[in-house]
Amino acid sequence: MPNERLRGAVSARELTTQRCAELLGVDPKTVERWITRDRVPHRAHRVAAADLLGVDETYLWPSVVDDLRTVSAGRAEMVEFYPSRSAVPLELWRSLIQQARESVDILVFAGLFLPELHDITQLGERARQGCRIRVLLADPNGAAVRRRGDEEGFGVGLAHRVLLSLRYYEPILAIPGVEVRLHDTTLYASIFRVDETMLVNTHVYGSTAAHNPVLHLRRVPGGRVVDHYLTSFDRVWTHAKRTSDINAVIAAFDGR
């Protein structure tokens, strides 16, 4: 049976079988067999093909979900489990920012605890040294933050926490490599990613983030968990609104 998902993904990228093979460093006949005979490539080629086509490898080859090596690698990505965010050692949060070299990605509603733990100008210093900083905060005027505020029992207080967080980030907004966007997305987890390490703070209905479990993850070759959460981050990032004028955001909130 042909792999129509793979065929469609190649077509969507406006690639030919020949060009796809060249970019992946394999024989065109190999790619043709992947498509026409639904052959499952070796792991390295699966990862490279999925990255080239901009989709998850399990979408192209669902059978790899049950691959024992994939399952084992996914388990290896788990470094530690914390029963609540407040149980995460403060030194871990601080060391992650201090050690950041390539990327810092933050997805939260308000995440006010971060600027309370760190001098946010440290993120600016990382950016000046070539580190990409992406911060996603909730749109204080959005439906998602109002809904979450009601669920947690804070009401409009959660939106005010977002505005306060924005004020903390304001001094570094003009630094190249730093970008803050506002999202109006239902979050199932807050994500804190620094290079190959990630902390995932799960969300529980009616419970504040500080009281919810945290997964400490680190990317392992062949693992899918970190990349799975990064895909989620990128989807929110794509649809979020750019913001460079904090005062305009605050004025829009005050003027509701």
Q: Residue 32's domain is classified under what CATH number?
A: 1.10.260.40
**Any domain includes 71:** no
Query: What is the per-residue pLDDT for 243?
Result: 86
Amino acid residing at 70? T
Domain range for 180 is: 76-254
Question: Is residue 133 a part of any domain in this protein?
Answer: yes
Instruction: Tell me how many domains the chain contains.
Output: 2
Shared domain for 46 and 96, answered yes or no, is: no
Three-class SS state of 162: helix
Helix (H) or strand (E) holding 90: helix 90-99
Question: Which distant-in-sequence residues (6+ apart) come within 8 Å of 131 by Cβ?
Answer: 100, 101, 102, 103, 104, 177
Alpha helices, DSSP H only, in 129-197?
143-152, 157-169
Task: Say whether both 21 and 141 belong to one domain.
Answer: no
**Domain for residue 242, yes or no?**
yes
Report the SS3 class of residue 57: helix
Q: Which two tokens mark 138?
A: 């909730």
> Are 8 and 102 found together in one domain?
no
51 and 105 both lie in a single domain: no
- Return the beta strands (E) in the chain as ranges: 78-82, 103-107, 132-138, 178-183, 189-194, 197-202, 214-218, 241-243
Q: Are 60 and 9 in contact (CB under 8 A)?
A: yes
Q: Is 243 in the same domain as 169? A: yes
Residue 181 backbone dihedrals phi, psi, to 5 degrees: -125, 155
Domain match, 41 and 80 both: no
Task: Return the CATH number at 148.
Answer: 3.30.870.10
pLDDT by residue for the chain (256 residues), tens only, comes to: 889 999 999 999 899 999 999 999 999 999 999 999 888 888 778 888 988 998 878 788 887 766 655 656 667 899 999 999 999 999 999 899 888 999 999 999 999 999 888 888 999 999 999 999 999 999 999 999 999 999 888 888 899 999 999 999 999 999 999 999 999 999 999 999 999 999 999 999 989 899 999 999 998 877 778 988 998 999 999 999 988 778 888 777 764 5
Q: Roughly how many angstroms between the first and final C-alpha of the chain, as a whole number?
A: 57
Residues 236 and 120 in one domain: yes
Are 161 and 87 in the same domain? yes
